[in-house]
Structure 1
Amino acid sequence: MLGKLVKRLFGSANDRYLRTLQPKIDAINSLEPDYEALDDEALKGKSQEFRGRIEQGESLDDLLVEAFAAVREAGKRALGQRHYDVQLIGGITLHEGNIAEMRTGEGKTLVATLAAYLNALSGDGVHVVTVNDYLAKRDAEWMGKVYGQLGLTTGVVTNEITHQERRDAYAADITYGTNNEFGFDYLRDNMASSREEQVQRAFNFSIVDEVDSILVDEARTPLIISGPTEDKTDLYQSVDAIVLKLEEAHYEKDEKSKSISLTEEGTERVEELLRDAGMLQGDNLYDYENTAIVHHVDQALKSRMMFENNVDYIVQNGQVVIIDDHTGRMMPGRRYSGGLHQALEAKEGVEIQPENQTLASITFQNYFRMYPKLSGMTGTAATEAEEFGDIYGLGVIEIPTNLPVKRLDENDEFYRTANEKHNAIINDIIEVQEKGQPILVGTASIEKSEMLSGLLKARKIKHQVLNARYHEQEAYIVAQAGRPGAITIATNMAGRGTDIQLGGNADMEIAERTKDVTDEAKIAKITQEVREEIAANKQKVLDAGGLCIMGTERHESRRIDNQLRGRGGRQGDPGFSKFYLSLEDDLMRIFGPERLDKMLVSLGIEEGEAIRHRWIDKAIENSQQKVEARNYDIRKNIVKYDNVMNDQRKAIYEQRAEIMESEQVSEEVTDMRHEVIEDVVIRHIPPKAYFEQWDIDGLAVDVETKLGLSVPVIDWAREEGADEEVLIERLLEASDIHVAAKKDALGEEMWQNIEKSILLQIVDQEWQEHLLNLDHSRQNVSLRGYAQKDPLNEYKSEAFQLFEGMLNHTRETLTSVLSNIQFEGMPQENMFQPQERETHEIHEEAESLFSGGSDAPEALDSSAFQNVPRNAPCPCGSGEKFKHCHGSIAQTGPVASRSATALDPLDPETWGRVPRNSPCPCGSGKKFKHCHGQVS
């Protein structure tokens, strides 16, 4: 009650924030005459002036008013468009690291130029992220005129450009591109073997367009770069043929989670079929030996029973192409992982591509959180404000419209069956078209858009269809959807980037009619005719009531419904919207209350009759909230699991960067080799062990195979007074001489290049193997919930152990390769050049990624190891330099501490594994081997 009173008296928090910006808006407006008086060169010179002031210590906030005034003037000169005051508010919101929620048609593309220009003045670059290549290219070319007027450069990153063009695009002041291109470039850069192969600069500031689509909807599926494994075409086809023989009683479907499982009867039937095909080992499907077969059966079941052609994917040019369920667009190049895509290919009878192994991956959450400053804009963000705040630290600011919204939003019409609903939609389309209103009909899938198109064709009603099949004509179809009486059926309107202009789009119509005309006078005449025609058509549409929006069903998210509605009533235009629903809609069928049908019968509705009732509205809202909550849980779960890997990923990527930028890595390589020698000796001759317990023969084998040394280890061990310390010292000396001889034979520079190249290759190989192990671990820990164990905590523990094991194996592998390597007959100029690999960029299916969830604390606290100078003492207290302790890949990396507890100089139990030549952690100043490391 008190909160409502405060809000009534002082306004909402959003209103109060907007009021604080008014003095800045007034200041920008007051500068307009001064900037109008500047000639083009003087206006362009403002950028150099601003950069000079930044170098002298002024902040970007100090320059905001003048910079925004300059951008407004550049917009007028380059585009003939002047930023409205509400657009200036949006620009300030973006600069301050928030999300600007602006209605459709309010000019978000132009708003981005304000914050992009201001933040680009630092010289560190700005990334403007869009949802598809078309918008990236369009916005870069369109808004690039504004930046060019101010002397700044613009780049665009798309899939088809060359490596050098990509580097140049990232070197520009402002770079446009899609979230996928930016993310995949980051992963590829961290697979590069030299700085010249990398394309991106250090991150600075990012503006994300359609931020809810990118940071919420697409965040359920991480980016993955993968490489092909062995071909299993016959296996996929055989398993698919077996699944085809199953009946409904053999499996259970859960449409809410899009999962499927065999019943007991189904398991017996599958075992029988596999046994007949000679594919089952033993009698039980769930024996360990049949783990892979079970996985393939599950994926084949899912592809057959849960994934639909023309809904989840389409078959085009002999390939299975995923359809984005949020935008309705095709996603060529993306593939489901875990064998699901191969199962779909087997189902559709197209060529089966080999399965993929993960080489690098990252979630959008962790990718975008790497930007020191992040902002975004969209028409629909308020419903996800909590998620934006929790995961990205972004506030949502609702920006007022430039003109009042005149669109009329009708209550939903509800029918019992889909047929009744479709008949009502067709009848209303005919009625509205007769008035001259353009109509935009929103559907949820290709299948439903084409079904509705068939109904219109049967009534001989002319219309256009916009879905993944007609992706190439998208801009033209959307641009002309505002003509009088035009009917457009679209699968989804999120991120289309082209406004529906009432009367039609004059520029596109002129371009279409003059594409084959060369005579200037004729072009001018056509241009005049088109503009007059469009103006007359616009007036007809305005008189008829503006654009009519018809939603054929509610989507899973209220945001998508709002995006569809938002296409009408832009910039003060009139408009109308209404949604048509039925009990047979997916949302109501899967998530709606079970008793709703009985409730409708009790209300006494007849066939074909529409109802409106607050109970129905409440049921729909509850269904959407269930889906939104479930999807949020999936995304939170992904972040929790990926956070475990993220520290490890950053550690490896930082190490790779240091290796690439170092002229030589001999010191690090030598430290690794010495650690391996100590580990090898202690493994076979444990401290305080009796001579009879020594494994001298095993030590001799390891010395020969891992160190490449032919030395009398067995004789050394049998000498009087010999112990593990004596053997370590002798082996260190022999190994140093052995490696020095290789260096002398090749020359120091060549040897250093070999060390660096091989170290990079081994780090990459071990990291890829580690990712595969993490994938297996992630799948396995989900089952431990049945044993009352938290899967997330189990995964954290295993991931840490796997990471330590990976680093130990990296040291051993590197030492073995360099100690045993031979160079006779090798062409030295091409020695150890990295080989090109075939890779794929994919989105992994979210539900198969992670199971379970937990809010348990992180297994390890890595904050103490962040941003530590490499030559500074390690924060763990070991007495070593950071680069030789937790900062070295030879040890455990920044995130892997020697003990899960703090190091106590008085408690040796907390010291973990201490190198024998390092200072003793007790603080005595002696080497560990001469202090607490002595063998008593």
Structure 2
Amino acid sequence: MRTGEGKTLVAILPAYLNALSGKGVHVVTVNDYLARRDCEWVGQVPRFLGLKIGLIQQNMTSEQRKENYLCDITYVTNSELGFDYLRDNLATGKLAQCHFHPNWLFSGLQSVDELVLRGFNYCVIDEVDSILIDEARTPLIISGPAEKPSDRYYKAAKMAAAFERDIHYTVDEKQKTVLLAEQGYADAEEILDVKDLYDPREQWASYVLNAIKAKELFLRDVNYIIRGKEVLIVDEFTGRVMQGRRWSDGLHQAVEAKEGLPIQNETVTLASISYQNFFLQFPKLCGMTGTAATESAEFGSIYKLKVTIVPTNKPMIRKDESDVVFRATTGKWRAVVVEISRMHKTGRAVLVGTTSVEQSDALSEQLHEAGIPHEVLNAKPENVEREAEIVAQSGRLGAVTIATNMAGRGTDIILGGNPEFMARLKLREMLMPRVVKLAEGIFVSVKKPPPKKSWKVNESLFPCILSKENIKLAEEAVQFAAKTWGQRSLTELEAEERLSYCCEKGPAQDEVISKLRNAFLEIVKEYKVYTEEERKRVVSAGGLHVVGTERHESRRIDNQLRGRSGRQGDPGSSRFFLSLQDNIFRIFGGDRIQGLMKAFRVEDLPIESKMLTKALDEAQRKVENYFFDIRKQLFEYDDVLNSQRDRVYTERRRALESDNLQSLLIEYAELTMDDILEANIGSDAPKESWDLEKLIAKLQQYCYLLSDLTPDLLASKCSNYEDLRDYLHLCGREAYLQKRVRFLFVCLCVCVCVHGGGGCCQFMTSNSFSLRFFQTMQLREDYI
């Protein structure tokens, strides 16, 4: 379905139907903001129909997560859902109490109650192409701290800075790899005073290669930004910061060394899964997006999903103008500024799409010099917090918005401005400081405490100054809310939820909600007078104009940007400005593009040529096929691991849910005996050919408690293969029970140390399980 046609609302229909089975439904979105917005906004429909709605956010505790996953419909992001699955299969529980229930001893110190996810049933994915295709190149990985960081990262970073490209090393931007040249090897070994960079006793090669990768392929304000003393990864598809994520295999540490920041601990992979294999675990899977038609083959081959195109409610009248191509990037950016200036003067709203933080900042500087007022939306923290308000007002008269990637922004660009959203922002900035409790913390540095949280919105985003009557009405409602709920008594999330409900149409029996909603509706009414008038002027000027500044690796991402214009029959237009020096053409363009670059000498005149258009389309197809192959390879590679992962996780879950782990462990012992017996004797071998010494050596390698076994003992007790198998089963059971008794004795000794003699005696004599144990060991009287 096209942008603005109501995907979020439509998702409620299948989600509600499948939730009636009581097995749970997951509605998956691309970020926390969208998950919260959808839960509050359309979640009121199933709530009104009697279902429980859950929401998962990044900073929730395990208890909150479990409670929300148990709801009928749960709104969650793809990464949170995936990581919760991996965490459930990694959790080890805590040694929380010292009692002697058998399951405490043999459950791996974890109970099934600690798991947050319940079984998979039905999943609806919003922006399905972004999650199942764009993000499917990178698997989900949970890593744990390994050894302390090495100073080698700093030495390697200095060396990489001194080395020269094409002399000391070569770079393959397509494969994102680097290779040391002969000169690089020789100089590196001389500088480091080692004979071989790959010497396993003092391995330097990975440090040097990562340092060169960090220098050449991982660029500041493109692949990452720096906040404080942290390197934060920027998602290449959505332009958002990926909080808490780190590159693996020492690459993140190499980037920290390059930037001269403190290096954090190295990591080791504990668990991983690809998005393809994770979502294929759902018995029923579906999704929605505005741009899946070009990827229908991949959806069919990997996920067995059909793609259906739903026609628009009103005819699409957006005009997509032909691309303007320049030889050099300088000419392209000059033309972009001219285009923005021209549209701004006519009063049209302009949305400019860039591919990196660096580009958006550079363009912003040029617009400042040209005197064009604008808003910037990229991964920088100061811009991220204002995301929704910036996007919601991008349709105002003469508004200019620069955005780094538009996938999954989740807020419609309404021509003339969004009065409901503006009214909510106005009420929010009045309500939040009164009802939200401030975060408590101890400041390590007293010189400069962190700034207080402010919900103040830039006044220029509002279409008019509110009348005194409406300001008084809103203040009275806010005062009543603060008095009823308590001054600064709510968390920010709780306050946001209540405010959202006030600004929606659900039944309002609560007096506070009723007063706040009344104030909200009056503010909307006042703002609407201005936004309706503004809308007419923007429509008559030609609607929203979209300016693309680079072709993306996929036509879909270009279509997502274009799709912001021309929603619900609105007028609009789009135009892409490209240069032959753009990454996509430089890396994937081939000889034809290189030839064109040499042929055209003029930098700031656009090039028009059928051959060029064909070359551009061919380059984009090459990129799409290349990345499809990467995703396919990852899927096939992970498929091998997946069968192993499924079996291990299934056995783990079986053990956790079992009431009697003793029988399960004895079963494992017997299966192990069968495997060893089959591998070392074989079921068809006659008794005369049995190599009992080899068998016993292998058994004792697995279980040191079988030290009493001898070839003579086995020969005397077993006349055939079945006897031998039964006898080894018995030995396995006895070894397990012997180990169990020893472990219990150790636990009781620990208990004696903790509780002291008398208290522990009283504890033991009152505990029937402990008494049975002591009777077995014939120790009770001696101990007392």
User: TM-score, normalising length from structure 2?
Assistant: 0.77
Paired residues of 1:482 and 1:501 also in contact (CA < 8 A): yes
Paired residues of 1:684 and 1:699 also in contact (CA < 8 A): no
Paired residues of 1:510 and 1:527 also in contact (CA < 8 A): yes
Matched, 1:563 2:560: yes
Q: 1:682 to 1:289 in 2, by over 3 A?
A: farther
Paired residues of 2:406 and 2:561 also in contact (CA < 8 A): yes
What is the rounded CA distance, in whole Å, between the counterparts of 1:722 and 1:400 in structure 2?
A: 77
Partner of 1:43 in structure 2? none
Correspondence for 2:424 among 511, 523, 540: 511
Partner of 1:670 in structure 2? 666
RMSD: 3.2
Q: 1:183 to 1:525 in 2, by over 3 A?
A: closer
- Where does 1:154-165 land on structure 2 (aligned, <5 Å)? 154-165=53-64
Matched, 1:240 2:193: no
- Where does 1:233-272 land on structure 2 (aligned, <5 Å)? 233-248=150-165, 249-272=167-190
Q: 1:211 to 1:527 in 2, by over 3 A?
A: closer
Shift of 1:505: 1.4
Partner of 1:376 in structure 2? 287
The residue matched to 1:237 in structure 2 has which SS?
helix
Correspondence for 1:628 among 619, 624, 629: 624
Partner of 1:614 in structure 2? 610
The amino acid across from 2:365 in the alignment is: G
What is the rounded CA distance, in whole Å, between the counterparts of 1:429 and 1:264 in structure 2?
A: 49
Larger deviation, residues 462-471 vs 714-723: 714-723
Task: Name the % identity.
Answer: 46
Paired residues of 2:291 and 2:556 also in contact (CA < 8 A): yes
The amino acid across from 1:825 in the alignment is: C
What is the rounded CA distance, in whole Å, between the counterparts of 2:306 and 2:717 in structure 1?
A: 73
Paired residues of 1:203 and 1:371 also in contact (CA < 8 A): yes
What is the rounded CA distance, in whole Å, between the counterparts of 2:300 and 2:711 in structure 1?
A: 64
Partner of 1:540 in structure 2? 537
Q: 1:623 to 1:141 in 2, by over 3 A?
A: same
The residue matched to 1:361 in structure 2 has which SS?
strand
- Where does 1:463-478 land on structure 2 (aligned, <5 Å)? 463-469=374-380, 470-478=383-391
Partner of 2:438 in structure 1? none
Correspondence for 1:480 among 376, 383, 393: 393
Q: 1:691 to 1:132 in 2, by over 3 A?
A: closer
Paired residues of 1:130 and 1:177 also in contact (CA < 8 A): yes
1:742-770 residue CA offsets vs partner (Å, 9 max, x unmatched):
66x58xxxx8xx8xxxxxxxxxxxxxxxx
Q: 1:731 to 1:414 in 2, by over 3 A?
A: closer
The amino acid across from 1:234 in the alignment is: D
What is the rounded CA distance, in whole Å, between the counterparts of 2:754 and 2:633 in structure 1?
A: 46
Q: 1:716 to 1:266 in 2, by over 3 A?
A: same
Shift of 1:706: 3.0
Paired residues of 1:125 and 1:171 also in contact (CA < 8 A): yes
What is the rounded CA distance, in whole Å, between the counterparts of 1:721 and 1:382 in structure 2?
A: 68
Shift of 1:692: 14
Paired residues of 1:681 and 1:724 also in contact (CA < 8 A): no
Q: 1:593 to 1:271 in 2, by over 3 A?
A: same
What is the rounded CA distance, in whole Å, between the counterparts of 2:60 and 2:33 in structure 1?
A: 14
The amino acid across from 1:625 in the alignment is: R
Partner of 1:25 in structure 2? none
- Where does 1:337-736 land on structure 2 (aligned, <5 Å)? 337-469=248-380, 470-514=383-427, 515-516=429-430, 519-520=472-473, 526-596=523-593, 598-599=595-596, 606-674=602-670, 703=700, 706-708=703-705, 711=708, 713=710, 716=713, 736=733
The amino acid across from 1:239 in the alignment is: A
The amino acid across from 2:406 in the alignment is: M
What is the rounded CA distance, in whole Å, between the counterparts of 2:215 and 2:749 in structure 1?
A: 55
Shift of 1:671: 4.1
The amino acid across from 1:656 in the alignment is: R
What is the rounded CA distance, in whole Å, between the counterparts of 1:633 and 1:683 in structure 2?
A: 40
Partner of 2:750 in structure 1? 826
Shift of 1:467: 0.3
Shift of 1:189: 2.0
What is the rounded CA distance, in whole Å, between the counterparts of 2:311 and 2:708 in structure 1?
A: 81
The residue matched to 1:504 in structure 2 has which SS?
coil
Q: 1:661 to 1:612 in 2, by over 3 A?
A: same
Total equivalences in the alignment: 648
What is the rounded CA distance, in whole Å, between the counterparts of 2:714 and 2:522 in structure 1?
A: 100
Partner of 1:96 in structure 2? none
Q: Which has the higher contact order (CA 8 A, sep 6+)?
A: 2
What is the rounded CA distance, in whole Å, between the counterparts of 2:732 and 2:555 in structure 1?
A: 67
The residue matched to 2:318 in structure 1 has which SS?
strand
Q: 1:416 to 1:706 in 2, by over 3 A?
A: same
Q: 1:393 to 1:701 in 2, by over 3 A?
A: closer
Paired residues of 2:592 and 2:615 also in contact (CA < 8 A): no
Shift of 1:244: 2.8
- Where does 1:188-337 land on structure 2 (aligned, <5 Å)? 188-192=87-91, 193-248=110-165, 249-275=167-193, 280=194, 283-287=195-199, 289=201, 292-337=203-248
Paired residues of 1:416 and 1:597 also in contact (CA < 8 A): no
Shift of 1:142: 0.6
Paired residues of 1:483 and 1:537 also in contact (CA < 8 A): yes
What is the rounded CA distance, in whole Å, between the counterparts of 1:561 and 1:830 in structure 2?
A: 66
Q: 1:599 to 1:358 in 2, by over 3 A?
A: closer
The amino acid across from 2:537 in the alignment is: K
1:71-112 residue CA offsets vs partner (Å, 9 max, x unmatched):
xxxxxxxxxxxxxxxxxxxxxxxxxxxxxxx11111111111
Paired residues of 1:716 and 1:727 also in contact (CA < 8 A): no
What is the rounded CA distance, in whole Å, between the counterparts of 1:412 and 1:104 in structure 2?
A: 22
5+ residue gaps, structure 2: 92-109, 431-469, 476-518, 756-784
Q: 1:609 to 1:124 in 2, by over 3 A?
A: same
The residue matched to 2:386 in structure 1 has which SS?
helix
The residue matched to 2:75 in structure 1 has which SS?
strand
What is the rounded CA distance, in whole Å, between the counterparts of 2:12 and 2:525 in structure 1?
A: 31
Q: 1:605 to 1:829 in 2, by over 3 A?
A: same
Paired residues of 2:687 and 2:720 also in contact (CA < 8 A): no
Shift of 1:351: 2.2
The residue matched to 1:327 in structure 2 has which SS?
coil
Shift of 1:170: 1.4
Q: 1:571 to 1:287 in 2, by over 3 A?
A: same
5+ residue gaps, structure 1: 1-101, 755-820, 832-936
Partner of 1:761 in structure 2? none
